[in-house]
Structure 1
Amino acid sequence: MTAPKISLRGVTKSFGPKKVLQGIDLDVAVGESMVVIGGSGTGKSVLLKCILGLMRPDSGSIRIDGEETVGISSRQREAVMRKFGMLFQGGALFDSLRVWENVAFGPIQSDGMAPAKAREIAIAKLGAVGLGPEIGDLFPSELSGGMQKRVALARAIAREPEIIFFDEPTTGLDPIMADVINELIVKCVSDLGATAVSITHDMASARKIGHRIAMLYDGKLIWQGPVEEIDHCGNAHVDQFIHGRADGPIQMQVRKL
């Protein structure tokens, strides 16, 4: 049996008295698209940062391709990071760089690739997300929000990563552009044969891009399973969340009017 691409066991993370992650167990198979859903402040971003190695969990194990990554050296970390691509919330493009330079940032800075070669790759990756070569010479500020998100996706796949992370990929987009981005994510992940981990509270996006869904609530994964089973999961917290109902076991921290 093939080992999971990503495997978490007993992962915890606290900030002072606040327990953000409370014993997370999660496996993501090779080539699988896993979507972690949950409300704001439930620990989704912290979970992603722990897998990426940007934060160190207080306890637990995070294995990539069967190799432990918690507590490894910076040199070992670099080798693991080489497998990762990332689409940041809001795109996080560099304003001072042209579009092609944004897409080629990883190949040039991390791989030492010659700019001319990196530009060729950047133009090809822009094509993969439906943008013509003329877009490469523009600056991010000259693009719409949807086009910026496409450029960010092109940058995420520029080094042909084995694992791609998506942080709220449809935030700030209208429903039609959000669907376009979701379809591009599915296509790009499939074309690369990559493993994907996404965090979102957009259920339309979760249903479109995920093979499996896991729900994080109060620092714990309270349900996980195939995307087609979520509507019949029998979990009241999940049911309330996916249908966006104010009334239910999840109580928002607001004062009653």
Structure 2
Amino acid sequence: MTTPKIELKNVHKAFGPKKVLQGVDLAVDKGESMVIIGGSGTGKSVTIKSVLGIITPDSGEILIDGKPQGRDRDAFLAQFGMLFQGGALFDSLTVWQNVAFRLLRGSLKKPKAEAREIAIEKLRRVGLKPDVADLFPAELSGGMQKRVGLARAIAAEPDIIFFDEPTTGLDPIMSGVINELIREIVVEMGATAMTITHDMSSVRAIADKVAMIHEGVVQWSGPISQLETSGDPYLDQFLHGRAEGPIEAVR
């Protein structure tokens, strides 16, 4: 058996009396695209933040390549890239400076000219022309901002990429473009991907495997090919948006 790229073992996290993660077990193999689905407040974002070390679990283990997070925080984070919900670009920086943000500081620091060259190459990869590089985020459409965020996520050639609601706020056509780009880039780079989303078109476009989190545990996990035939009543209700079922709607 190969060692998973990312593995969570019985991970628990509570915020005061609110128990968010209540024993998450999840394994993501190297080069695999795992999409995590579930209702709002079920623990999807907390799961990703725990893997990144932004949140410290109360108990359980999180392993990367079979090892716990090391003491060298910069080296640990250098493995990751992330496309944030809404893009999360820095308004005061130009597009290329946003893309090259990690390449201009810290352990990955490169000369400014080299960082700019890499940024422009990554912008080309996501379908943006070099003349976009010196614009500011406010001068871009929502779809272009999302592409810039994707270029930033891959700028440092990370082993693992996280996607947080990658198509939020985009129209169906642009959502399809972003989903296709994500899939192409993850495959090209051989990266391991973890995505959280409510958008089932994204799930079907970019997932190798799917995990559904409900009430702080992985309710179901399996290959995308089994999504519609899982037989799991929680997953079935979520996929079809039914009001009736084991998941109680908050009224």
TM range (shorter): over 0.9
RMSD: 0.8
Amino acid paired to 1:240: Q
Asked whether 1:208 is paired with 2:210, we answer: no
Q: In structure 1, what is the equivalent of residue 74 of structure 2?
A: 78
- Deviation of 1:121 after TM superposition, in Å, equals 0.1
Q: In structure 2, what is the equivalent of residue 199 of structure 1?
A: 196
Asked whether 1:67 is paired with 2:67, we answer: yes
Where do 5+ consecutive residues of structure 1 fail to align? none
Q: TM-score, normalised by structure 2?
A: 0.98
Amino acid paired to 1:220: V
Asked whether 1:236 is paired with 2:233, we answer: yes
Asked whether 1:118 is paired with 2:130, we answer: no
Asked whether 1:92 is paired with 2:88, we answer: yes
Asked whether 1:2 is paired with 2:2, we answer: yes
Q: In structure 2, what is the equivalent of residue 180 of structure 1?
A: 177
What is the DSSP-based 3-state SS (H/G/I as helix, E as strand, rest coil) of the residue aligned with 2:133?
Answer: helix
The CA distance in 1 between the partners of 2:123 and 2:213, in whole Å, is 34
The CA distance in 2 between the partners of 1:20 and 1:250, in whole Å, is 16
- Deviation of 1:2 after TM superposition, in Å, equals 2.1
Amino acid paired to 1:84: F
The CA distance in 2 between the partners of 1:208 and 1:243, in whole Å, is 17
What is the DSSP-based 3-state SS (H/G/I as helix, E as strand, rest coil) of the residue aligned with 1:137?
Answer: coil
Q: Deviations over 1:53-75 (max 9, x none)?
A: 00000000000011112xx43x2
Runs of 4+ deviating beyond 6 Å: none
The CA distance in 1 between the partners of 2:57 and 2:24, in whole Å, is 11
- Deviation of 1:236 after TM superposition, in Å, equals 1.0
The CA distance in 2 between the partners of 1:127 and 1:243, in whole Å, is 37
Where do 5+ consecutive residues of structure 2 fail to align? none
Amino acid paired to 2:227: I
- Deviation of 1:91 after TM superposition, in Å, equals 0.4
Q: Calculate percent identity across the aligned residue pairs.
A: 62
Q: In structure 2, what is the equivalent of residue 226 of structure 1?
A: 223
The CA distance in 1 between the partners of 2:26 and 2:128, in whole Å, is 35
Q: In structure 2, what is the equivalent of residue 137 of structure 1?
A: 134
How many residues align? The count is 250
- Deviation of 1:104 after TM superposition, in Å, equals 0.6
Q: In structure 2, what is the equivalent of residue 245 of structure 1?
A: 242
Amino acid paired to 1:218: E
